[in-house]
Structure 1
Amino acid sequence: MSTPGKRVGRPRAAGRLDSGLSPRDELLAAAAELFTTRGYAATTTRAVAERAGMRQATMYHYFAGKEDLLAELLESTVTPSLALAHRLLAADEAAPPEARLWFLCSSDVRLLCGGPHNLGGLYLLPEVRSEGFAGFHHVRLELKEAYGRLLAATESCGSLDKDELALRTDLVFGLIEGVILIHRSDPDRPTDAFAAATADAALRVAGVAEGALAGVREKAVGLASV
């Protein structure tokens, strides 16, 4: 019989407040914190479980191990942008492709650089090249292809041949993911300004004239509801 007024449930880690998250999300939050502060190699599954306020054995009900945690964290940095890209591709009447591309670029940068932990920095781990992260690489490739489709729809890239378009896509996508390194060296940089400047740079790579950027940004503002 429980004592009246006493909280019943799984024990919390010492000094860690109840976040209200599900056990699975609690583990992901703990892993994100530890992987980005202590390092992936130095973090044990026991440390993740304890940080989440549960036993290590309980953690294995949700994740097979560290690799599963990392894979899900990595995918969480891509899947929202992919979903947005698909909506933007379908919303061809909402704004010209240049504005939709700008909006995707800026939103992607905010995702990579936002939040309490620099999850984008996990892309640089050598472990990410292994087969266990095939799901992440597949979703990332889908996002890159969506960038390519938006680029192909722009006036400046519409006449490019297949190889030239592939190169332009590589350059734009590489620019967006390159913010990870900049953010890691300067995490206090204002995210919104960084996202806008990076999106401007991506449009320049796409061939949009400097004088047209202000108009593109203005039209992109209305895409927040897409």
Structure 2
Amino acid sequence: MGTPGGGGGRRVGRPRVAQRPDTGLQPRDELLAAAAELFTTQGYAATTTRAVAERAGMRQASMYHYVSGKEELLAELLESTVTPSLACARQLLADDASPPEGRLWELCRTDVELLCGGPHNLGGLYLLPEVRAERFAGFHAVRAELKDAYRQLLAATAAGSALAKHELDLRTDLLFGLIEGVILVHRSDPERPVSVFAEATADAALRIAGV
């Protein structure tokens, strides 16, 4: 084995994940950004906390000053895909002056843009088997509230108001399923313009709703 600084026998260790460029983010946000990148490119199960820490430019031990581990990062990333859409939904529900059909279309369009507009396809994390665990109950609660907002807007339309409860529930499931299904479509063609994709999806969603 060569000595340090010698010409030969350089020790070869495990390759390190490249550090992210300096972004000016706070450490916790840097960890979330690193986790978003690694979870969506390498897979959640295959990503170690050490890899996340190194990608964020810190030691693994330092990471635990900001988060408890991978599950906390995943939970926060999941909720970040839903909370902006829920805020939009609440505003649209409160806007009694606008036709419900237009408000429903706008929620669909906005939701798709939020799901597909970021640098990483975070919506793809919904498909992870780990997400079914109780640890992610917060995400599921926010998602259920968003789905209910879709239901309320659909029920307020002329077509939705004529539906029986079980029919309204079915139409809501289909509509919400279409919106979340864009995750897979976006994954297959990430270069598609998001704004065009969002509008086309909103048009299709209203046809499913019978509007």
TM value normalised by structure 1: 0.84
Distance 1:123 1:15, change over 3 A: closer
Distance 1:190 1:160, change over 3 A: same
Tell me the secondary structure at the aligned position of residue 157 of structure 1: helix
Q: 1:168 aligns with which of 163, 167, 171?
A: 171
Distance 1:19 1:162, change over 3 A: same
What is the match of residue 129 of structure 1? 132
Question: Are 1:33 and 2:73 matched, yes or no?
Answer: no
What is the match of residue 209 of structure 2? 206
What is the match of residue 67 of structure 2? 63
What is the match of residue 114 of structure 1? 117
Aligned-residue sequence identity (percent) comes to: 77
Question: Are 1:158 and 2:161 matched, yes or no?
Answer: yes
Measured in 2, the distance between the counterparts of 1:186 and 1:67 equals 28
- Structure with higher Rg: it is 2
RMSD: 1.2
Q: 2:83 aligns with which of 69, 79, 97?
A: 79
Q: 1:49 aligns with which of 46, 53, 61?
A: 53
- Structure showing greater relative contact order (alpha-carbon pairs closer than 8 Å, 6 or more residues apart): 1
Q: 2:102 aligns with which of 99, 104, 108?
A: 99
- Residue identity opposite 1:124 in structure 2: L
- Residue identity opposite 1:25 in structure 2: D
Render the CA deviation track for 1:194-217: whole Å, top value 9, x for unaligned. 100000011111112xxxxxxxxx
Distance 1:48 1:163, change over 3 A: same
Offset at residue 17 of structure 1 (A): 2.2
Measured in 2, the distance between the counterparts of 1:16 and 1:179 equals 28
Number of residue pairs aligned between Structure 1 and Structure 2: 195
Offset at residue 92 of structure 1 (A): 1.3
What is the match of residue 180 of structure 1? 183
Offset at residue 15 of structure 1 (A): 5.3
Question: Are 1:141 and 2:114 matched, yes or no?
Answer: no
Offset at residue 56 of structure 1 (A): 1.3
Offset at residue 31 of structure 1 (A): 0.2
Measured in 2, the distance between the counterparts of 1:15 and 1:99 equals 45
Tell me the secondary structure at the aligned position of residue 184 of structure 1: helix
Measured in 2, the distance between the counterparts of 1:38 and 1:16 equals 15
Which runs of no fewer than 5 residues in structure 2 stay unpaired?
1-16
What is the match of residue 194 of structure 2? 191
What is the match of residue 6 of structure 1? none
Measured in 2, the distance between the counterparts of 1:14 and 1:48 equals 10
Render the CA deviation track for 1:16-68: whole Å, top value 9, x for unaligned. 32111111111000000000111111110011011111121221122111011
